[in-house]
Every structure is written in structure tokens, then in C-alpha cells.
Amino acid sequence: MNKTALITGASSGIGAELAKVFAGNKHNVILVARRLAKLEELKEELVKNEVSVETIKMDLAQPNAAKSLFDEVNKLGVSIDFLVNNAGFGGQGAFHERSWEQESQMMQLNMVTLAQLCHLILPQMINRGSGKLLNIASSAGLLPGGPYQSVYFATKAFVVSLTNGISKEIEGTGVSITALCPGPVETGFEKAANLEGTNLFAGKTFSPDKVALDGYNAMMSGKRQKTTALSFGNRIGLFFEPLTPATIGLSFIKKLQQRNE
């Protein structure tokens, strides 16, 4: 019997590419996003792999969305073997100038919904003695902070820390959890986060299909954390980050994310 993956933020980018990888490996998939038309379009492609594909339209940035999604999945009568928390968004601008609604929805989606889905589905996996979770974080979560994307960087640091903590708690249960930390990826994030006109994406960017495959392989092998889509300069920067005074690192990140006049 095919196993089933629940993938949030599956309408485009890394989420859609992960859905293709899972389906290509003969896993059934449940796709979740706000844009149902995009999900149905992807479904037409995935069913060619002779797997079951379910689509659920839901805005996971709303309070209690995780519980609503969990209930919808239970109605399908399937067990979740793989949970992929991919849904998330960012936003450029000074913290005090951005609307609180934007920031609170970002925290809800990037942190609260992700954490609650893990909390709801982990007990089922542990009771079965099998299951894998993949949380899409960011290389931003490995840095001291992100001026002009302060909340986004903080949410991704939360994802990394949460995943690391849980991974130690569930050792020996047959269940694993992985944090994927990619660098700049060609997903439309730059436009959605209003980062056009900054230097953050001025260098090399990577294709989402490669990132998705790296994430899938890391998840399947039970790795706790995986960085990917990093240029040589990015790798050097992350290597030396623990040795670099925070003020220097923050100043560099500020320049990258500050809008060019």
C-alpha cells in the first residue's frame, strides 16, 4: 500500500516540487494551499504517477487552521506517513513600519500552524512507530537576525530550534524530523516578500526542484538538519558566522535587504 504525504503550501515553488518528488516515488499526496485552481492543475500532473491525490483549499495563516486541516485529513480516513510543513511567507520593511496584521499572520503561518501540525500528527506517528516530518526553514534561521525582515528571520530561527529540540525528544521512536534550510531559491518568494530592488537575490539562485529533492532525501535518511541552495560565498559566510561579531553580520544582512534607491 502506498504511503501518504501531507504537504502544505503545495501550489507552487518548493511545495509543488516536493509533491512531484513524492508522487514520483509512488507516495499518495494531500496538497494544501489557498489557491485551489493551482492545486487542481498540479493534481492532473501527479495522478499520472498512478497515486492518489487529494486537494484541500485552506488559508493556514488563520488561527486554528492547523486543527481545521487535521480534522479535514481525518475525514479522508488516511494515516499521514510524511508531514511536510512548507507553507510560509516573508515581507520586506522596517518592523515598526510594517502592519501588525502582516507580521502576526506571518508568525501564525510560519510558526504556530507549523508547530501545531507537528503536535497533532506526531502522536499518531509515534504510536505507529513510523513516520517522518520535514519542516522547511531557511538559511535565514541560522543567522543572528534579519534587518528589514526581522520577523521572517525570527520565525525561521524558531523552526530550526523547534525541529532540533523535537528530533532529540523522539530518538528511538521510529519517527524522525528534519529542518531544511535553503538559501535563495527561484520560487517567487522575492516578489511576494517585496524584496525586488534589494541585493538579497542579486547573486546566484537555485531551482526549487533541486531543493525539493535535497529535502526529500534528507527527510528519508532521517537527517536532523540540511542546508542546501547555498553559493560558495553563502557556505563560507555560514561557516564563519559563529566566529563573526553579531553587529558585523547584522550590518551585512541589512545592506543585502535594504531597498536600493
| Residue-wise pLDDT tens digits, 203-251 | 567 899 999 999 999 999 999 999 996 865 677 677 767 778 888 888 8
pLDDT for 30 equals 98
- Coil, strand or helix at 120: helix
Give CATH superfamily name and number for 4-257.
NAD(P)-binding Rossmann-like Domain (3.40.50.720)
Q: Nearest to residue 15, comparing CAs of 44, 48, 49, 38?
A: 38
Which residues belong to the active site? 152
Interatomic CA distance for residues 204 and 185, integer angstroms: 9
Mean pLDDT of the chain: 92
Interatomic CA distance for residues 201 and 185, integer angstroms: 9
Residues 184, 204 contacting (CB under 8 angstroms): yes
pLDDT for 256 equals 82
The domain spans of the chain are 4-257
| Sheet with 131-136, side-by-side order of all strands | 53-57, 28-33, 4-8, 82-85, 131-136, 175-182, 225-228
Q: Nearest to residue 254, comparing CAs of 138, 142, 148?
A: 148
Q: What is the mean pLDDT of residues 145-153?
A: 95
> What would the pLDDT profile of 98-119 be if each residue is shown by its tens digit?
999 999 999 999 999 999 999 9
* Cell numbers that stand for 163 in this block: 525541529
- Coil, strand or helix at 181: strand
Buried b (16+ CB within 10 A) or exposed e, 217-239: ebbeeebbbbbbbbeeebeebbe
Rg (CA), the chain: 18
pLDDT for 206 equals 82
Query: Which band of pLDDT confidence, cut at 50, 70 and 90, is reported for residue 186?
Result: confident
* Cell numbers that stand for 39 in this block: 492545486
pTM over 0.85: yes
Look-up of cell digits 502592519 = 99
Parallel/antiparallel/unpaired status of strands 53-57 and 82-85: unpaired
Break the chain down into helix, strand, coil percent, rounded to 5.
Answer: 50, 15, 35
Q: What is the mean pLDDT of residues 93-99?
A: 97
- Spell out the SS3 assignment of 213-245: HHHHHHHHCCCCEEEECCCHHHHHHHHHHHHCC
pLDDT for 24 equals 98
Higher local confidence (pLDDT), 234 or 164: 164
Interatomic CA distance for residues 102 and 107, integer angstroms: 9
Residues 151, 95 contacting (CB under 8 angstroms): yes
Query: Which band of pLDDT confidence, cut at 50, 70 and 90, is reported for residue 193?
Result: low
Look-up of cell digits 529542518 = 179
Give percent above pLDDT 70 in the chain.
Answer: 90
